[in-house]
Amino acid sequence: ENLCCSYPCQNGGVCLTKGFNDYECDCTNTDFYGKHCEVPSFSKRIKLWLKPSPSTLHNLLVGNKWFWNIVNSIPFMRKFIMKRVYTIRADIIDSPPTYDNEHSYITLDANYNLSFFTRTLPPVPIECPTPMGVAGKTKLPDIDELVQKLFVREKFKPELRGTSALFSFFAQHFTHQFFKTDIKRGPQYQWGGHGVDMTHVYGKDKHDEHLLRSFKDGKLKFQTINNEDWPPLNKDVGVEMKYIMPVKEDSNFALGHSFFGNLPGLFMYATIWMREHNRVCDVMKKEHPDWDDERLFQTGKLILLGATIRIVVEEYIQQLSNYNFKLLFDPTLLFGEPFQYQNRVALEFNHLYHWHPLMPDDFNIGGTNYTIKDFLVNPRIVIKHGMATFVDSLSKQNAGSITVKNHGKYTLNVVKELMKHGRTLRLQSFNNYRKRFNLPPHKSFQELTGNKKLAKVLENFYGDIDAVEFYVGLITEKRRPKAVFGEAIVEMGAPYSLKGLMANPICSPKYWKPSTFGGEIGWEIVNTATLQKLFCQNLKEDCPIVSFKVPDFVEEQEKPLDGCDGDCQQHGGEL
Ligand SMILES: COc1ccc2c(c1)c(CC(=O)NCCCCNS(=O)(=O)c1cccc3c(N(C)C)cccc13)c(C)n2C(=O)c1ccc(Cl)cc1
């Protein structure tokens, strides 16, 4: 039988079977040696001894406000740290990509087949005794039971860092440009461009882009309602829009992504980015009256791309990380570093980014309460209340906490699908992924969850801690103090996230200069972009509240819960 099923090779060593009952570990380039690549080289030993643990670093970064205020105010120190964040995170990601969803070993296909999500760890070989290799039961627990016991939200649990619903929709809107599962072909297929390519604003391909453009002054098509600019109706444009329920013609708008008509929060972002593009085109036309429509359009797109990455790093990730250290978007920090400006979206990153618990069960817009049901396929709510009221209301509403038993009932089917895909594509165990991202594997269910009752439930389901599935481990893992989610989501997702952002073409030396963005004015827009300006420069009325964090939110101490021991920060969820 395949002795590699027990994953005997450690620290990135590659297992090779030798005949039917032997194997060897290839430790090349791992800095380890020995039969299982378990012995570190001398230099590796020193590095490991010096390296602070992720938790130590986390506590350093979310604490010591006075220290970080000093560091943040000294440019060369802030840049030094940010450079390490970039380089240490990016080095964890294989570039070029190594594995795909159809081979448990490295292939050339994995590099050239752009239709697949890439894989950071290969699938569990088919011939192994259990779905996880050798650990656990021969059959994985029933998905409906797992979802019922671990994910179903009985009582809404607010995100304890004060993350707002405006953040939730930003996350959904932004990630839909590079997480595009081609479900018709299968969960391993994707139809995206493998990066931050702004297709969620400008359309999935050139054909749709041409339908969305006005071909006047570089602008996108729009219509004016109630003295505000909104996307055009799709009857006048003809892009492919997909709705989860039938939609009236006057609610069917032409947007950059086929899914965005389903939720008003997504329609809001589609609208504001369209307005921003057209505003930037006006600015560029004044600066360059000699430029034609095409040049205005292309420059507008580059400026919005730069603004997007800046907002994501300096506001969106800042909110997610809850760091006192001020994160910085500065591509020059990587100039001269061994860094490849290429990115491939990984299946595991897609699974990591399933944060449906962020979605509240209902929305209070300008005093009117809407359930999710009222909200679905109803973009006209945004027009009715007006953009200012809508963004103000979302900024003041708490998002849900990404933890156990906090998936709203409308998201349960999505999470069941995700679990099925994880099994079809034979994702390796949560612990194998922890090791792949330099985290120690959890030795017990108690250590994973930090909660006795939850540990018991998981033990009944899986039997062996090494058989816990990827997504289940991510959600049931105990959270660190003052953190939005568990250690694993951070240590695994952060590398994909930063690689995906910093490997963007505009971050490369040939692009990253004022002339790419239309000269000093455009360069200034990219270097000073904020979420606040994105909204307020595209509203006629006074600037509303625009924030990823609910204003004057008091970080309450989580109440100790039954079944959890010692520091009960971990689960806002009684079981
Ligand atoms: C916490 O919550 C979060 C939550 C999300 C986060 C982050 C932090 C981070 C920052 C990060 O990457 N956090 C970990 C690494 C920071 C510290 N490790 S370090 O840089 O390697 C380092 C190593 C050694 C010494 C260091 C040092 N010295 C001088 C002592 C100072 C500072 C850093 C040092 C990123 C990008 N997120 C994402 O975008 C993201 C997006 C989607 C998903 Cl699904 C998951 C994540």
Paired tokens of 153: 């939200």
Cβ of 516 below 6 Å from ligand 1? no
- The ipTM, to two decimals, is 0.95
**Total length of the chain:** 575
Q: What is the pLDDT of residue 151?
A: 98
Q: Give, in order, the Cα–Cα distances in Å from 158 to each of 164, 165, 266, 347, 360.
A: 10, 11, 21, 28, 8
pLDDT of residue 108: 97
Q: Which residue's CA is minimally distant from atom 8 of ligand 1?
A: 321
Nearest residue (CA) to ligand 1, atom 20: 85
Which atom of ligand 1 approaches the CA of 89 most closely?
21
553 lines ligand 1 (CB under 6 A): no
Confidence of residue 569 (pLDDT cuts 50, 70, 90): very low
Across the range 429-433, mean pLDDT stands at 98
Per-residue pLDDT at 200: 98
Q: Which of 33, 353, 370, 511 is catalytic?
A: 353
Q: Residue 447: pLDDT band by 50, 70, 90 thresholds?
A: very high
**CB of 89 closer than 6 angstroms to any ligand 1 atom:** yes
Whether 454 and 403 have beta carbons less than 8 Å apart is answered as no
Tell whether the model's pLDDT for residue 573 goes beyond 50. Answer: no
Residue 157 has pLDDT above 80, yes or no: yes
Confidence of residue 126 (pLDDT cuts 50, 70, 90): very high
Q: What is the pLDDT of residues 128-148, one digit of tens each?
A: 999 999 999 999 999 999 999
Name which residue sits closest to atom 4 of ligand 1, judged by CA. 321
494 lines ligand 1 (CB under 6 A): yes
Minimum CA distance residue for ligand 1 atom 28: 81
For residue 573, the one-letter residue type is G
User: Quick one: tokens of 499?
Assistant: 């690689």
For the segment 491-501, the average pLDDT, to the nearest whole number, is 98
- Helix-strand-coil split of the chain, %, nearest 5: 45, 10, 45
Give me the pLDDT at residue 557, please.
63
Decide: 564 and 452 in contact? Cβ < 8 Å: yes
155 lines ligand 1 (CB under 6 A): no
Q: For residues 258 and 248, what is the distance between their CA atoms, to the nearest angstrom?
A: 16
State how far the Cα of 419 lies from the Cα of 281, in Å rounded to an integer.
44
147 lines ligand 1 (CB under 6 A): no
This prediction's pTM: 0.96
Buried-exposed string 139-164: b where 16+ CB fall within 10 A, e elsewhere: ebbebeebbebbbebeeebbbbbbbb
Res 481: pLDDT:
83
200 is catalytic: no
Counting runs of H as helices and runs of E as strands, what totals does the chain give? 24, 8
DSSP 8-state secondary structure symbol assigned to residue 400: B
pLDDT category at 1 given cuts 50, 70, 90 is confident
8, pLDDT greater than 60: yes
Query: Does the C-beta of 114 come closer than 6 Å to ligand 1?
Result: no
Backbone angles phi, psi at 326, to 5 degrees: -80, 110
- pLDDT at residue 562 above 60? no
pLDDT 10s digits, 232-265: 999 999 999 999 999 999 999 999 999 999 999 9
Is 36 among the residues known to form the active site? no
pLDDT, residue 566, reads 43
The atom number, within ligand 1, closest to the CA of 80 reads 29
Rounded mean pLDDT, 86-100: 95
CB 265 within 8 A of CB 169: yes
Exactly one of 173, 176, 200, 354 is catalytic; name it.
176
SS3 sequence of 457-472? HHHHHHCCHHHCCHHH
pLDDT over 90, % of the chain: 95
In percent, how much of the chain has pLDDT > 70? 97
Residue 81 CB less than 6 A away from ligand 1: yes
Q: Give the pLDDT confidence of 186-206 residue by residue, as tens digits.
A: 999 999 999 999 999 999 999
Q: Sorting pLDDT into bands at 50, 70 and 90, what band is 82?
A: very high
Q: Which of the four pLDDT bands, split at 50, 70 and 90, describes residue 122?
A: very high
- Interatomic CA distance for residues 574 and 40, integer angstroms: 42
pLDDT at position 40: 97
Residue 559: per-residue pLDDT: 56
Question: Which uninterrupted H or E stretch holds 81?
Answer: helix 75-90
> How many angstroms is it from 432 CA to the middle of ligand 1?
20
Residue 558 has pLDDT above 60, yes or no: no
Nearest CA to ligand 1 atom 27: 81
Task: Give backbone dihedrals phi and psi of 553, rounded to 5 degrees, phi first.
Answer: -85, 130
